[in-house]
Chain A
Amino acid sequence: MEGIEDDVGHVPLLEAEEEEEEGRRPLRLRGSYLGIFGSTVFLVSMAALIIYQGHDYYDEAKIENKGNNNNNYNKVPRGVAEGVSAKSNSFLSETTPYNWTNAMLSWQRTAFHFQPERNWMNDPNGPLFHKGWYHLFYQYNPFSAVWGNITWGHAVSRDLIHWLYLPEAIVRDMWFDINGAWSGSATLLPGGEIVMLYTGYTHQQVQVQNLAYPADASDPLLLNWVKYAKNPVMVPPPGIGPNDFRDPTTAWFGPDNKWTLTLGSMLNDSGLSLVYKTTDFINYELNDHFLHVVPGTGMWECVDFYPVSINGSVGLDTSANGPGVKHVLKASLDDTKLDYYAIGTYFIENDTWIPDDPDLDVGIGLRLDYGKYYASKSFYDQNKQRRVLWGWINESDSEVADITKGWASLQTIPRTVLYDKKTGTNLLQWPVEEIESLRLSSHEFKELLVKPGTVVPLHIGPATQLDIIAEFEIELLGSEGIVNNVEGCGVGAVERSAFGPFGILAIANDQLSELTPIYFRLSNYGNGTSTTTTTTTTSTSFCVDETRSSKAPDVSKQVFGSKVPVLNDEKLSLRVLVDHSIIESFAQGGRTVISSRVYPTEAIYGAARLFLFNNATDINIKASLKIWQLNSAFIRPFPFHDTQ
C-alpha cells in the first residue's frame, strides 16, 4: 500500500496536531460545560421525540405509559449519551412485560436474513466484493444484546444470501477507537487495494476518522485488518462538534486526480455533508463548502452519495459521472431515526449537489423505506455491475425481551438500487436475484375474486418463510362518481373506504386474532371508459399495519406507509418477503418499500397463515399471486475446522 510507509509528509502534520491539542485544552474545559448543558437539552428532547414519535400514521392509543419517561435519565436510550442516535425503544420499558415463552421467542429468529448468532448488531459497514466473496461488516456488541462495546463483526458470502461468520475484523484496542469502532465504508482502488475508513470514538470521547486496510491482500477472506499507525486521519474541523462527525463514505475519483469523500455533520440543527479530498488516504483537505445542507434536519448519520444511470438498467461505480448520470444523496436523520434520500445533480467542479426537486430534498422528501429501517449503506458490486443496498432493521420489541432471547437486530435482504426512469422521481429497490435460489415449492393463484369486506385464505402450507408476488385488479361496483378523497393509510386496515384497503394478511392465525395487513388504499378510482378521469387526482397509498400483529402489549405496533406512484398503464403489484419476525414489502417494482417487525404470540410456526383481504366498500378485487416457500440460508460460522 503506497504511502503507508512514507513518512516524509507526515512529520509536519504531527507537529501541527500537537499544537492544536495544546491550544485546545483550555477551550475543552469551557466546551465541556457547554457540552453538558447541550447534551442535557439534547437528551430530554430525544426522550420527548421518542415518546411522541412525530409520525403521520402513529396510533397513539396503542402505546401505554407514554408520559413517564421525561425525568428519568436512566431510561435514556442507549447510544445517545455517547453521541450517536438512540438505539433502544425506551418507551416500552414502562409497559408490563408479556409472558414470552421460549417457543415464541425462538420463532422470531429469521431463516434467511443476516443476523449474528447472538447479541446486538446495528449499522452495516464497509460492504464490498473481493476475489469471489461478498463481505459484510457490521456494528456488533460481542457481549450483550443491547448496543455497546461496538466492534466490527464480519461475514462473507458467495451470493449475498448464504453467509458464513468470520472473526471480528476491527476491535476497540487503540486510543482512537477504544470507545467504539463505529461505522465506515470501503474504497476499492484501481490496483486492487482496499482502503477502509471508519469512525473511532476516542478515549476522550471525540469522533475521529481512522484508516484500516487488509493485513494480507491475497487472503480472499480478508480475515485480518491493520490500523494505520498514525490514526486518526481526520479529526473534527474547527466549528464542528466532537460528537457531530461520523460515518465516512466510499471515496470517488475525480478529474482533479484526487479521491473525494463525504461525511455527515450538523450546524445549528441544519444537517449537512462535509467534503474531504485526498490522494493517499492519509492526508486530507477539507473543502470550504459543504456538499449540501438542509436546514432543520438535524445531524446526518450514515451519509451515502452515489451515481445512478438515468437509463436505469445497470448500477454504476461510485466514481462514475457524465451525461446520463444523476447522483443520489442519502442521510439517516439522527433526530427521527429515518433514512431519507434525494435524486439530484452533482457539480463536480466545486463538489456541490442540488436536488432535482427542492421540495423533496434530503430529510424532507422521499424515504428509502417507510418502516423500521435505518443506517443504510450501498456499495457498487463490480462482480455483477449493480448497486446493492444494505439496511439495518432494529427490533420493535422491548429490551428485556432482546436480552432474554439473546439477540437483537437484522439486516434487510440486500437490494439492488436503480433510478426509476418511468417516474423520474423515485429509486427502485428490489431484493437481489440470488434470493431466488432459496425458492422451494410454489403455489399459483389466478384472478381470485375478493368481494368487499371479505377474507380469502390461501392454502400454501407453512406461512412463515415466503416469497410472494401479487397483482391486483380493481372492479368498480355500483355507480361511478363516488367522491372519496381519503389519503394515506388511515388508522390501519380496519378503516374502510370506497377504494381500500385491500391486500394480503401475513403472519395471521385462523381466528384472525393476530394478523399483519399489507395493503393498498386508493383515494379515488375512475371508471376506465370515462374521459373525465385523471390519474392526477388519484393517489395510491401502500401500507403495513402492525397494530394487530401481536397480542403482546410490550411491542411497538405502528401503521407504516406512504404514497406510491402508479402510472396509467400499471396494475397494482407487490412483492413480500416473509421471514418470521420480519416482513419486507415492495410496491410497484420497489418504488415504495416498507420493512416491519412482528412478534406474534399465536400466529407462529404451523399456526401462521396467509390470506387475501378486501376491506373496501365499493370495489371487488381480483388478485393473481405466485407464492414460493423459501428455504433457510443456513447462516453459520465459516467451516475452518470442518472434517466431515
Chain B
Amino acid sequence: MAKTLHITFTITIILLFSSSSIPCTQSQTTRVYYYWNENNGVEDLIEQVCKRTPFYDLCISTLHNNPLLSPKSDIKQVALIMVNNILSNATDTLNYIEALLKHTKDPQLEQALALCAESYIPVVRFTLPQAAVAISQGHFAFASYCISDAVKEVNSCEGRLVKSPSDKSPLGDRNDVVQKLVDVANAIIKLLLKA
C-alpha cells in the first residue's frame, strides 16, 4: 500500500513538472511564435500571420509554398518575403504605367498616369528597398513608417485613376493588388512592432 502511494506520488510529481513545461496556449497568440518548435509546420505560421491581415486569401496565396519559408522561419522572414514580393509587383506596375504613358493619346489619362508614376517611382527606388533593409536589421519602426508611406503613395495613385466606383482603372487590377499587398505588409510589420 505504501509502495503504491509512493509510486502514485512520484508519478503525480512527474506529471506536475511536465505539465508546467507545456507552453500556455490560451494567452496572447503572439506569444505562440516564441515557443514555436520544429514540430509545427510552415503552414501554421502562415495561417497565424495571415489571419491578422486584412486580406487573408491574398496573404495565403503569396506565402503558400514559398521556397524561402522553412520550419525555422519567423514573422520577420514572412515580412521580408512580403515586402520583396510587393517590390516586384510595384516594379511591374510602374513599368506598365510607363508603357501606357508612351502609347496613350488621351491628355487627361496621360496626366493621371504621370502623377501615378511620380507616386510609384520613390516607392520602388527607395521606400520598399529601405523597408526590406530595415526589417532585416530589426528597425521595425522605420520599416513600418516606410510601408505606411508606400500605402499613401499607392492609394494616391489609385485615387487619380479611379474617381468613381464605376470607373475602370487603366491598370486593370495591378494597382489594386499592390494596394492590398501593402496593407498586408503593414499589418505584418505591426505584429513585429508589438512583439
Contact = CB atoms under 8 A, between A and B. Distances in A.
B193 A643 contact: yes
A102 interface: no
Interface stretch (A40-48, A260-268, A419-427, A633-641): A633-641
Contacts of B43: none
Contacts of B142: 221, 640
A131 B194 contact: no
Contact of A132 (B125, B133, B190, B193): B125
A337 B144 CA distance: 44
Contact of A642 (B126, B127, B130, B145): B145
B152 to A, nearest CB: 9
Nearest to A130: B126
Judged by DSSP, the binding face of A is: loop
A218 interface: yes
A132 B130 contact: yes
Interface string B140-153: 01101100010000
A369 to B, nearest CB: 29
Given A132-B126, A132-B127, A158-B149, A642 B133 contact: no
Contact of A643 (B125, B145, B194): B194
Interface size bracket, A side: 10 to 19
A640 B142 CA distance: 6
B117 to A, nearest CB: 13
A296 interface: no
A461 interface: no
Given A131-B130, A158-B122, A639 B194 contact: no
A638 B148 CA distance: 13
Nearest to A640: B141
Contacts of B126: 131-133, 220
Contacts of A218: 133
A158 B149 CA distance: 9
Contacts of B145: 638-639, 642
Interface string B103-123: 000000000000000000010
A573 B77 CA distance: 57
Contacts of B193: 642-643
A135 B7 CA distance: 73
Contacts of A643: 190, 193-194
Interface string A150-183: 0000000010000000000000000000000000
Contacts of B190: 643-644
B141 A642 contact: yes
Contact of B144 (A131, A133, A158, A642): A642
Interface in A600-644: 638-644
A612 to B, nearest CB: 33
B143 to A, nearest CB: 11
Nearest to A644: B190
Contacts of B127: 132
A513 B125 CA distance: 53
Contacts of A221: 142
Contacts of B141: 639-642
Nearest to A164: B145
A472 B111 CA distance: 30
Interface in A129-158: 131-133, 158
Nearest to A218: B133
A278 B105 CA distance: 51
Contacts of A220: 126, 130
A644 B194 CA distance: 9
Contacts of A638: 145
B123 to A, nearest CB: 9
Interface in B121-170: 122, 125-127, 130, 133, 141-142, 144-145, 149
Interface in B171-185: none
Interface in A477-497: none
A133 B125 CA distance: 12
A221 B125 CA distance: 15
A73 to B, nearest CB: 49
Contacts of B149: 158
A638 to B, nearest CB: 7
A643 B141 CA distance: 8
A132 B122 contact: yes
Contacts of A640: 141-142
A640 B193 CA distance: 10
A642 B189 CA distance: 11
B157 to A, nearest CB: 14
Nearest to B126: A132
A66 to B, nearest CB: 51
Contacts of A133: 126
Contacts of B133: 218
Contacts of B122: 132, 158
Interface in A202-234: 218, 220-221
A192 to B, nearest CB: 13
A147 to B, nearest CB: 33
A640 to B, nearest CB: 5
A642 B144 CA distance: 8
A227 to B, nearest CB: 24
Nearest to B194: A643
B131 to A, nearest CB: 10
Contacts of A641: 141
A640 B138 CA distance: 12
A307 B67 CA distance: 53
B151 to A, nearest CB: 13
A131 B134 CA distance: 14
B56 to A, nearest CB: 21
A639 B145 CA distance: 7
Nearest to A159: B122
Interface centre among A133, A158, A638 (most CB of B within 10 A): A158
Interface centre among B142, B149, B194 (most CB of A within 10 A): B142
A490 to B, nearest CB: 45
A218 B125 CA distance: 14
Nearest to B152: A158
Contacts of B125: 132
Contacts of B144: 639, 642
A278 B194 CA distance: 50
A220 B149 CA distance: 14
Contacts of A644: 190
Sorted from nearest, which 6 A-B pairs have the closest CB atoms? Answer: A132-B126, A643-B193, A640-B141, A220-B130, A132-B122, A642-B141
10 contacts: A132-B122, A132-B125, A158-B122, A158-B149, A218-B133, A220-B126, A220-B130, A638-B145, A639-B145, A640-B141
Given A131-B130, A638-B145, 12 more contacts: A131-B126, A132-B122, A132-B125, A132-B127, A132-B130, A218-B133, A220-B130, A221-B142, A640-B141, A642-B141, A642-B144, A643-B193
Interface of A: 131-133, 158, 218, 220-221, 638-644
Interface of B: 122, 125-127, 130, 133, 141-142, 144-145, 149, 190, 193-194
